[in-house]
Structure 1
Amino acid sequence: MNNFTDAIKHLIVINIIVFVAPQLMQTDYTNILALHFPKNEHFGFWQYATHLFMHGGFAHILFNMYGLWAFGTPLEQMWGKNKFIFFYFSSGIGAGLIYTLVNYYQFNAIYDLFIQAGLTDNEVIAILKEGSTNDIRVLQAITQQQFNEIFALYNTPAVGASGAVYGVLVAFGMYFKDAKLALIFFPVPIAAKYFIPIMILGDLFFGVTKYSVGNIAHFAHIGGALIGFIIAFYWKKNQFKMY
């Protein structure tokens, strides 16, 4: 069984503390630490880093921390602590940035319909805060489904280390491509070089269609995988050390 390497051990401990402490203190830090949409009043640039330590439930943190340990341990053993930490946060922050860009594109496509209907920016933001469609101009500009979509984009923050873990997963697949992996709901072992692309394609499919189950930030997963691939590919071709 893999030992806990330094960086992974500390990351897991911090994640557990951030998950448990608010429950013990009966305090909610979501508005401060979770990643909000940039137009939301609770948005802060630090959230691109802090949202990596927030999780939506026990299963969420359990699977992320297991993935971090299982796939990150051999990478930290190979790269060293500093290099792994740089990789982890680069993947996680990159995932948040790509997730925001995708959300901006989806948001603006609907937001422009509000503006075309004669609403001002302040009026649109006020409507999104209240969640009200009482203004006749709103009903004339967009459908209820579009309103629900833009309302969710504006008000639903992103939490979790999944983007960073996807980066770790991709790097693992690049360096240990013949390692056999399996999921609980698909217990047949498959080589990492096939298994990981299938997972990412699944996220891409669910991200661009309406078939996603649950409130999952698929484009954050894809973003973390993309950044992880770029960094791992470069490092594999150009070896160097970080002290």
Structure 2
Amino acid sequence: MPFNLPRVTKALLIANLVAYLLQWVVGEQAYAFLELWPYVPDAPEQWFMPWQLLTYGFLHDPGNIAHIAFNMLALVMFGAPLEYTWGPRRYLTYYLTAVAGAGLCQLLVTSWMAASTGDVGSTVGASGGVFGLLLAYGMLFPNQRVMLLIPPIPMRARTLVILYGLFELMLGFTGLQPGVAHFAHLGGMLFGWLLIRYWRGQPPFGRGRGPRLRVVR
């Protein structure tokens, strides 16, 4: 456990790991009400509740350890520098906004799909918040060199954000990778981008006269 992490990033990491272990212990039926379910009026056995827009982001698929492993690695890699730059309060506000925004986008998409096909399934994972962190990292540290894991290619953070965004958009609309919440990933990036623009006083929230967030070149 990396104990030298900033406190909010460390707390988020611990919360996700503890939740993952508890999921193994209690079984899905015990925590299904915390997963993000689509809004389907005629499916009373599982239904959407407002708190799920946040709680789903602390759950992961117990049968897919790579899911939580990659999310937590990204949380540490991109979250820690952002917390050191923004401070704990602004950083936590940003992360939870990205999680909730990702959940809202996923809720709209899955509710529409459930109404169209009758297929009702839940969503779990911190990926929406992680993609929000990736977006913020690319905006604040655009020229920082980062390394893809698969394949191991070095590139600028800004380039990585653009490529990931386009890739998720393509997968979301083509359905080439089913079972992955691509629109949640995009939603995390979208709401993160909107919050940064709000903090900067930029359109559509202002005329660009607000305080600028530090950009590391």
User: What TM-score bracket applies, with the shorter chain setting the length?
Assistant: 0.7 to 0.9
Specify the alignment match of 1:204 in structure 2.
169
3-state secondary structure, aligned to 2:33: helix
TM-score (norm 2): 0.84
Return the alpha-carbon distance in structure 1 between the equivalents of residues 58 and 74 of structure 2: 14
Q: Mind listing any 5+ residue stretches in structure 2 that lack a counterpart?
A: 202-209
- Change in 2 beyond 3 A, CA 1:239/1:29: farther
Equivalent position of 2:55 in the other structure: 50
The alpha-carbon deviation at position 20 of structure 1 amounts to 0.1
- Letter of the structure 1 residue corresponding to residue 55 of structure 2: T
| Between 200-209 and 33-42, the greater mean CA deviation after superposition | 33-42
Secondary structure, in 3 states, of the residue corresponding to 2:152?
Answer: strand
Task: Name the structure with the higher helix share.
Answer: 1
**Does 2:204 align with 1:239?**
no
Offset at 1:107? 4.2
SS of residue paired to 1:186: coil
Q: 72, 76, 86: which is aligned to 1:65?
A: 72
Contact 1:177 1:192 in 2 (8 A): yes
Q: Per the alignment, in what secondary structure is the counterpart of residue 93 of structure 2? A: helix
Code of the residue aligned with 1:221 in structure 2: it is H
Matches of 1:239 and 1:72, distance apart in 2: 22
Q: 2 CA distance for matches of 1:77 and 1:236?
A: 18
Q: 1:158 aligns with which of 113, 116, 123?
A: 123
Is the alpha carbon distance of 1:49 and 1:191 closer, same or farther for their aligned partners in structure 2, counting shifts above 3 Å? Answer: same
Residue identity opposite 1:224 in structure 2:
G
Name the counterpart of 1:175. 140
Task: Normalising by structure 1, report the TM-score.
Answer: 0.75
Distance 1:235 1:93 in 2: 18
CA distance in 2, matches of 1:180, 1:233: 24
SS of 2:153's equivalent in the other structure is strand
| Alpha-carbon shift at residue 25 of structure 1 (Å) | 4.0
Secondary structure, aligned partner of 2:147: strand
Q: Quick one: structure 1 residues 240 and 190, their matched pair in 2 at CA, closer, same or farther if it must change by over 3 Å?
A: closer
Q: Larger Cα Rg: Structure 1 or Structure 2? A: 1
The answer as to whether partners of 1:8 and 1:72 remain within 8 angstroms in 2 is: yes
Deviation at 1:101, TM superposition (A): 1.6
2:87 is matched with which residue: 73, 80, 104?
80
Structure 2 distance, partners of 1:9, 1:176, is: 21
Alignment CA distance shift 1:34-1:194 (3 Å):
same
Q: Deviation digits for residues 164-215 of structure 1, max 9, x if unmatched?
A: 1111110000000011122222211010111111111101101000311x51
